[in-house]
Structure 1
Amino acid sequence: MTEAFTRAVNELDATVDGPEVWGWHGRTLSARVLSRMRGQCWLRLMSAPQDKAMGKIWEGNRKAADLFDTSITKPVLYDAVEETKDGHTYRAELSQYVTEPVFSPSPVLSPDTHAPRASWWESLRADLAYVAKTPTDRTAVRQEWADRCVPRFLDLPAPQITEWETAHGDLQPANLTGGTPYLLDWEGFGRAPVGYDPAMLLAYSLLAPDFAARVRETFPVLDTEAGRVAQIVVVTELMQSASRGDHPELVPALHALAADLA
């Protein structure tokens, strides 16, 4: 990864200008760079076995750039390069450098987290409304997955998803900046149950009552039947993730929310 990152930096005519930032399970490597043409930028490298370098995750940021770069608050994608070496393919994406820090270093908010100012929520609500009505052929959630996983992880019948919209797909506090907010990390966007993005943000904020209350206030869809379905889907996803060792501290709150939704 580090060698591929260096090659990408050189090919994009840039120099490294900040510390390495490794992504989830080491699947990505990023850093601030200085581009000769564009100044400060963010360079993100992802890798996959050569025969798996395709599909939703691989193409997500590029397709999101085509749909959203001039319409909502997200980093602009400037350029990308790919190479295949020793059975792996690497994709490096050069994007706008956002000076604002992320809202939280962890997806799960700590109990003492306070809600941002009203303009932050207004911007987020407007951007998600634009995303929701944008047509796409990408899929973030499938009914077949819900049919299989909701009974397994929640011991509940799987709800039938009858209302769909386009979603960011991973709307958690570490993918939002604290000032505007910018919406980061678009590799998983696609069609999902109505209310999916607010449900995801709520689930990750369950340990932070002040923030969670503002999520509910800002997105009244959560109090509808569609929102209930979206929350069941999200809780199932996070329980599945927890079964692999992710964020065990959130599990009791997820169980309590599932009981409320049943």
Structure 2
Amino acid sequence: MTLRSVDLRKEPVEAVLDRMERSLGVRLEHETVVRKRRSVGARTDRGTWVRIERRGLDRIGVQGGDGTASAEALRGIAKPAWFAGVAWRDEAEPVMWRADETELLPGTPVGSAVVAEDPQLSEEWWAAMNASLDALAAQHTNRIATPDTETLTQELVAGTIHSVFPGVDTVVVEQRPAHADFNWANMTGPVFCAFDWEDWGMAPRGLDAANLWGASLAVPALADRVRSERRDDLDTRDGRLMTLFVAAKILGPYADPDDPRLGAARETAERAVEELRTG
């Protein structure tokens, strides 16, 4: 069966929400519902948050789609506590629905995934972000990161980079745990907290830093700040590869010609290519 493309911002989800409420024993505060392309979230009557995701069975694999629950084992990271979860297979399509109940966030999302203006974050915020990323990198897991629900294999790295930067040696040297969807929509301010952990797992060093850099390119000073804060990751061989990985997604065949990030992405990527070639 072919999996149809679905946007949950437009799809009826009442039956899914009803099933989740019965399974977890909660009631949603429907005025708080946030609908995204493949997930729906809302506050509950017991002061928690529930996120429901639709994911094709072909994008689950052996990891089981329980990223948010498994992230509860991580230590030293500012993130909402996980309380409960439930999953079921769709009756009509090769799809799994999963709902996870977590602690409420300590603030609001910093912005959309890609920001157009400087969020004016405090020094304490940057210190907390760095502490969480450093703590994450020191942990151990058998999970593999799945950015955009795709398993992050060596082949995916090579194919993505070579689609824009052919001839680059894309062999990954160092793997570390990563959030894998680290952007401004998945962290809070003014108090730092990272959420939406469904895709976390092992990834080339620098993936999270490169993702945040790419999400900041429309604000050059912010992109420079990200690179400065995470230079220990981004100035490594794998950090440069992840810079190219993210830049290739911005510059690739589906690039928006009006994307304000294009010029900065191209400039930094060309520098990374030269640094990789000269060692």
TM-score (norm 1): 0.85
In the aligned structure 2, how far is the partner of 1:146 from the partner of 1:258?
15
Matched, 1:171 2:178: no
Aligned to 2:163, the other structure's residue is in SS state helix
| Match for residue 123 of structure 1 among 107, 128, 131 | 128
Matched, 1:11 2:46: no
Consecutive unaligned residues in structure 2, runs of 5 or more: 1-12, 146-151, 274-279
Question: C-alpha displacement at 1:48, in angstroms?
Answer: 3.5
Contact kept? 2:106, 2:193, Cα under 8 Å: no
Aligned to 1:4, the other structure's residue is in SS state helix
In the aligned structure 2, how far is the partner of 1:234 from the partner of 1:59?
25
The equivalences for 1:148-167 within 5 A come to 148-167=159-178
Contact kept? 2:110, 2:119, Cα under 8 Å: no
Q: Which runs of 4+ in 1 moved over 6 A?
A: 244-247
User: In 2 relative to 1, CA 166–93 (structure 1 residues): closer, same or farther, beyond 3 Å?
Assistant: same
Supply the AA of the counterpart residue of 1:146: V
Q: CA RMSD in A?
A: 2.5
> Share of identical aligned residues, percent?
25
Supply the AA of the counterpart residue of 2:113: P
TM-score (norm 2): 0.80
In the aligned structure 2, how far is the partner of 1:226 from the partner of 1:82?
35
Consecutive unaligned residues in structure 1, runs of 5 or more: none
The equivalences for 1:34-113 within 5 A come to 34=45, 39-49=46-56, 54-56=61-63, 58-65=65-72, 67-68=73-74, 71-87=76-92, 88-104=95-111, 106-110=112-116, 112-113=117-118
Aligned to 1:160, the other structure's residue is in SS state coil
| Match for residue 180 of structure 1 among 185, 191, 194 | 191
| Match for residue 137 of structure 1 among 135, 138, 142 | 142
Aligned to 1:16, the other structure's residue is in SS state coil
In the aligned structure 2, how far is the partner of 1:244 from the partner of 1:32?
35
User: In 2 relative to 1, CA 102–143 (structure 1 residues): closer, same or farther, beyond 3 Å?
Assistant: same
In the aligned structure 2, how far is the partner of 1:57 from the partner of 1:208?
37
The structure with the largest helix share of the pair is 1
Matched, 1:192 2:203: yes
Question: C-alpha displacement at 1:53, in angstroms?
Answer: 5.4
